[in-house]
Amino acid sequence: MSILHLSFYSAFTLSSLGLAFHRTHLISALLCLESMMLSMYVALAMWPIQTHTSSSTILPILMLAFSACEAGTGLALLVASTRTHGSDHLHNFNLLQC
């Protein structure tokens, strides 16, 4: 594959790994999520340029809109969890009720 594809794949993979293996703060996970969105935006934007089909040009804009909502949701969750747990440290978030 071309070096363009490699950069998309590696950016996406590294971001998802970063999402999975974040250490302390939830906000670093959200940042990784944003970088995943960014790499997907760039990939979607390169697609009509490479395949010369202009009807899918709207796709990155749609994705951006949804990712903005999603980022807002993520930040709201962050604020809500900080309000309840006192910080956004990950080891506070426990599904176990005991």
Partner 1 sequence: MDLPLVLNTLMLLTLAILSTPIIFPMLSSKFKNTPSTITSTVKASFLISLIPMIIHIHSGTENLTLLWEWKFIMNFKIPISLKMDFYSLTFFPIALFVSWSILQFATWYMASDPHITKFFTYLLFFLVAMLILIISNNLFLLFIGWEGVGIMSFLLISWWHGRAEANTAALQAVLYNRIGDIGLILCMAWLASTMNTWEIQQIVSPTQIPTLPLLGLVLAATGKSAQFGLHPWLPAAMEGPTPVSALLHSSTMVVAGIFLLIRTHPLFSNNPTILTLCLCLGAMSTLFAATCALTQNDIKKIIAFSTSSQLGLMMVTIGLNLPQLAFLHISTHAFFKAMLFLCSGSIIHNLNGEQDIRKMGGLQKMLPTTTSCLTIGNLALMGTPFLAGFYSKDQIIESLNTSYLNTWALVLTLLATSFTAVYTLRMTLLVQTGFVRIPPLTPMNENNPAILLPITRLALGSITAGFLITSYIPPAKTPPMTMPLYIKVTAIVVTILGMMLALELSKLTQALIKPKRNSFSDFSMNLGYFNPLAHRFITAKILGGGQNIASHLVDLSWYKMLGPEGLANLQLMASKAFTTLHTGLIKAYLGSFALSILIILMSTY
Footprint of partner 1 on this chain (CB under 8 A)? 16-17, 19-22, 29, 90-91, 93-96
Q: Which is nearer to partner 1, 7 or 16 (CB)?
A: 16
CB of 45 to partner 1, least distance (A): 24
Q: How far is CA 86 from CA 4, 42, 78, 83, in A?
A: 43, 36, 11, 6
CB of 87 to partner 1, least distance (A): 15
Q: Which is nearer to partner 1, 52 or 91 (CB)?
A: 91
For every residue of 7-33, DSSP letters joined together read HHHHHHHHHHHHHHT--SBHHHHHHHH
CB of 93 to partner 1, least distance (A): 5
C-alpha to C-alpha distance for 51 and 16, rounded to whole angstroms: 27
